Amino acid sequence: MSENIKNEWIDWIEEAITKEYFKYYDYSQFSDVSVIGTGGFGKVYRANWKNSKYLALKSFSNFNNATAKEVVHELKLQRDVDFHNNIISFYGITADENKKYLFVLEYADGGTLKQYLKKYLNNLTWDNKFNLAYQLASAVSCLHNEGIVHRDLHSGNVLVHQNNIKLADFGLSKRLGDATTQSTFFGVIPYIDPTRFSKRKNSTDPIIVYTLNKMSDVYSVGVLLWEISSYRPPFYTEGESYDVSLVVEISQGHRETVVPNTPEEYSKLYIECWDGEPCNRPTINQVVERLKTILMKSIILKTNSIAGNCFSLPEFEMNFLIEDNSSIDNISHNSLNSLHGQISQIINNFDAMNTQEIIDTLATDLELVANKLESFIFKITNEGKNTLGLRKQYIFDYLSKNELSKGAVPVTIAPEELFKWLLCHQNKPTYIFLLGYFYYLGIETNINHKKSFDLFFDASESMHVLSQYFVGECYQLGNGVEKKEKIAFEHFKRVAKKGHAMGQLKLGTIYDKGIPGIRKNSRKAANWYEKAADNGNNLAKYNLAFMYKDGTGVCKNYKKAFSLFKKSAENGDPDGMSMLGYCYNNGVGTPIDKMKAFESYQKAVKLGNISAQYNLALMYEAGEGIEKDIDEAIYWYKKASEQGDRDAENRLKLLEEIKKEDEMILFKGNFHNSKLFHIKHYEYNHFKNIQEIGIGGFGKVYRAKWKKSPKYFALKSLLNIDEDAIKELVNEIELQREVIFHDNIINFYGITISDQENQSNDIKKYLLVMEYVDGGSLSHYLKENFKNLTWKDKFNLANQLASAVSCLHDEDIIHRDLHSNNVLISKNIIKLADFGLSKRIEETTQKKKDIFGVVPYIDPKKFSNRSYSLNKKKGESYDGSLAIQIIQGLRETAVPDTPVEYVKLYTECWNDNPDNRPSTHDVVERLNFIINQKQDENLDEKLGEITNQTENKDTILNSNNFEVSSHGELSKMIQDFDKMDVNQILNENITLNNVEKSSRGELSRIVQDFDKMDTKEIMESMTSTSEEIINNKNISSENDLIIKVNKITEFIFEVLNKRNSSNLKQKILDYINNQKMNSKEICNWLCDNQNYNSNSIFLFGFFNFYGIETIKDNEKSINLFINASEQDFILAQYFIGLYYQSEYETSENKKLAFEYYEKVANKDCAIGQLMVGYCYDCGLAMCNLGFCYKYGKSVGIEKDIDKAIYWYKKATEQGDLSAQIELEELTKKSDFFM
């Protein structure tokens, strides 16, 4: 190797590291470095990175010109497929003490496939083998979809990590083989496509042959599939090596024999893969599909035994989740558009390229992307499509779409890659601006307005238009610089004068509303809007349309307004679509067309327009432009209401009342005609093989097949139906539809009506059509499988259950009846059932003894506190004595060797005090933490020990502890509770054997009727001194917070009344800290108790107004101030005045500000008197009221100097210096004119 070649390689590496094309690892941070493999390319080491995780280091030996290029090539290929889970990940590069460079790769802890198969000799199930084969084929499919041919597939470079295939050494080892020894070559003969040997270039060299291609990889995959089935390499005999005679035999059609008992579909597949003629072999995508079919068929056939198979091997876990077909299609689609879609070009022209050309190619691509991106930002900004909240998503969407191209080669670069490149290329205004834009929006970095402003300003000095515009926006919004709207105006003016619509729109907006130093001028606003609209700005068209509609700044012209709204809508503006709907609906500039109005509103709501949601609801309610549908109307009123539309909120309340009256329509013979619910109706006579599979207080559950489908459905009926029960059924349907998206909640498909005879004419027998779960209840599953479950399995089940309940809570649904008999399970997947119905249905058909099956799961707070209602923090906690013991704090003991974190979690969940229980979100997060924490531990080995210790313990395996009896008599039991004494409860002999009935409905009776119970004997056990102490402590804690809230409010009043309001937020924070108060604790209390009194309402508004321990929200704060002001709270009235004073665009706001200041002033408060003086002085409560009278009509009242002087005097008397200054000024003027 010449020095020149060596230097070229090193230069390429160093330049690539400098430009951060990949991560550089400091070799000194690696420890415990040891050789784990060697080959023709060099050696592979295992090394510990910063004592955190093991990585693989891959070295290279015998570098020559070809090798250097191949290293570069592998880097590019590796980046193309780094996303695939079954391909070894490339992390970066490092250099050892001798300055020799090494690849840093993912470390595969299972070694090579060859070693792995030897280790697990005869221990893998066929499902395990199918899964390994599928992963291997999937990885090769990914390569082929990216235009990469491996050419060197064998069990020595297929790795295994945590029982998953990891394909390695593609794109490099196939060519480095030329530098290896002949013995090394013969070691991989069985895996090489024999076509290579049979199509020789000449008779003297049997090895230099036909070029290997994708079908050659398929041949190798076929051999590997056989090897997976047999646990050994092909044609392997202990102590013997392959030689040239094997080459001849394979070329003549010799293949390995099928292993006995191999499934026919599997053997047929690999035999087709190693066919001698490449054209007869399947493609790799076909191999993937056929393996997927084989694996899925095996899973279906062995549904009931999969759980056992999964745990048949120590430390062995298999993932049987097969990727969706679309994943392969997506890989193929994405590959056509990747940055390295140039691979085919690079491969074809590689000999003609040097490493500098490769670097230049990457750099040129990034320059192209940067320039194209700048043009895109210019376009959307100029067209008025750069809404602040959508800008970031626009960039991500644009970069992810394949709109950037260089010649015929599509180019896609990740935002992270572009950001890193921009950091190193700040030599052009375009790149300076783009880096500022990334900081401005927080793309691949944190938002930093100061940095973004500095970068915009630097680029603007080079007359960069976008930078000038964004400098103006920074001044306008106060982003990274002090807010100065007049300076912003000047920057926008420069952009506008250059004829750019973005600047023209801004000038129109400023003249439309006015800013300090620039008066409102509707004519100028209309003029600038028109210029921007003519230049294609969509927002300008929308604003100008309003001016024509209202006759503001231009002559009223409805047709012109309609035309502009239509253009705005056609350009994708949701506001324009909404107003176009308004025009069609009301005949503004166009004939009334209700259908077109509906279509326009519908398009707008899909893009999130709130007013369109309300208008769409109106049309559904009235049946205009669409068939009348109250349910849809309620849906859209609710959507609009959730976003603050008060009109929608009022309509929603009204319609919900009407809906309650109409609910029975669904169930009284009018189901087919009712539009109340959009649910699928199944014809009952299309169900076949109907079998009863369960019964409980609610009714019966059947299993049935639908038409000719092999799929089973569950049919759930109700017994003893009356109108109340039907209402509950309606409720359950609604709740089911709210959470149908969650994987761990039983699916609701629709409803059917039984055609059985002797049914009531008014009320038919309705059945819910639901997902059928074949694994039974959690109770049954634990009984059958407990010995085989690892802690990881238990954590996973717990996490799924918590996730399902959390989903209910997010939708404001409280289950109220969680126990192991209505938690179902299928293929290790939890399915939560029976929520929203069982808690309310009254049932009185079961026996007294059946109700106690659910007692351990009931929140004990319900028994000890009559006024307590079950809620989101209810404990998921058998006879009467047990109920009393639970009230007194009795809980199950932890199973030996249960992880401490898990014990701590469930003991917190069943805490006697609901306030001390974690939320379901917290439970999910903590379970995720436990799962991640335990992931790398050898839990299976510990499980063996735990199982041996607990094998005979009834508390774990006794079915009575897991199964819950039917609950139908609970309501009757509670009704008769007054007639029972404690001894009767304690002495009752209760049998719980052989009970597998559902027990849901009775909890509702506990909730509803407990207040009627005579529980004196039970309650006596709850009146201990210790509980009184706890309760008093809680009350004391709340009183402390109330006192703190009052003190803070008083301090705010004191500060403001002394006219010392500068830096008010910091003053309040300093006061809270000095008083050793916790602002977060106070904010949380205010959030939960904001309506406690006027102080708490105001202070919560104050926290929202200034963003103290919460997000700043002016709208929310004003609403709170208004609520407090209605209770005649002075500070709230003052802040409302301030708000309206700051919104001085309209005379109405000026009057409102004056009215609120006057209310404060009339209570002898200086803060109000100052502002009222200001109002009179201006023509705003005593000094502010004086200001209002001073300036007169400009603030919405008649100017009155005498009243201004009066209120300034009132404020001065209370020590207000600002009022005194104003008073002196007015007095001098008054004397001068006398």
* Known binding-site residue numbers for ATP: 58, 716
Closest by CA position to 663, among listed 735, 734, 765: 734
Secondary element (H or E) of residue 50: none
Closest by CA position to 1059, among listed 1207, 1167, 1151: 1167
- Angle of helix 920-934 relative to helix 900-909, nearest 10 degrees, comes to 170
Secondary element (H or E) of residue 346: helix 343-349
Long-range contacts of 90-96, Cβ-Cβ distance < 8 Å, separation of 24 or more: 90/22, 91/23, 91/25, 91/55, 92/22, 92/23, 92/24, 92/25, 93/13, 93/17, 93/22, 93/23, 93/24, 93/25, 94/24, 94/25, 94/26, 94/27, 94/30, 94/57, 95/13, 95/27, 96/27, 96/59
Single-letter code of the amino acid located at 41:
F
Q: In terms of C-beta density within 10 A (0-12 exposed, 13-18 middle, 19 or more buried), how is residue 967 classed?
A: buried
Taking each continuous run of H as one helix and of E as one strand, the counts in the chain are 55, 18
Q: Which residues of 375-387 are buried (b: 16+ CB within 10 A; e: fewer)?
A: ebbbebbbbbbbe
Q: Which two tokens stand for residue 356?
A: 């500098």
748-753 and 680-682 strand pairing: parallel
CA 745 to chain centre: 18
Secondary element (H or E) of residue 263: none
Q: In terms of C-beta density within 10 A (0-12 exposed, 13-18 middle, 19 or more buried), how is residue 1194 classed?
A: middle
> Count of CB atoms within 10 A of residue 428's CB?
16
Please name the residue that has the structure tokens 């597939």: 153
| 38 strand-pairing partners | 43
Closest by CA position to 222, among listed 321, 290, 298: 290
Closest by CA position to 71, among listed 154, 147, 179, 167: 179
Q: What are the angstrom distances between the C-alpha of 781 and each of 272, 613, 715, 828, 931? A: 42, 46, 22, 9, 21
Rounded to whole angstroms, the Cα distance separating 707 from 711 reads: 9
Q: In terms of C-beta density within 10 A (0-12 exposed, 13-18 middle, 19 or more buried), how is residue 317 classed?
A: middle
Please name the residue that has the structure tokens 């004391």: 1036
Q: Which two tokens stand for residue 342?
A: 């140039």
Closest by CA position to 846, among listed 965, 966, 968, 964: 968
Rounded to whole angstroms, the Cα distance separating 347 from 231 reads: 36
Rounded to whole angstroms, the Cα distance separating 1079 from 1065 reads: 12
First CA to last CA distance, the chain: 105
Single-letter code of the amino acid located at 443:
I
Q: What is the CA radius of gyration of the chain?
A: 38
Is 611:642 a contact under the CB 8 Å cutoff?
A: no
| 57 strand-pairing partners | 45, 104
Rounded to whole angstroms, the Cα distance separating 131 from 322 reads: 9
Rounded to whole angstroms, the Cα distance separating 1136 from 1118 reads: 7
Is 25:93 a contact under the CB 8 Å cutoff?
A: yes
Rounded to whole angstroms, the Cα distance separating 393 from 380 reads: 12
Please name the residue that has the structure tokens 């309760």: 1031
3-state secondary structure of 831: strand
Rounded to whole angstroms, the Cα distance separating 970 from 696 reads: 12
Contact partners, residue 455, CB within 8 Å, separation at least 6: 432, 433, 435, 436, 439, 467
**Binding-site annotation, residues:** 58, 716
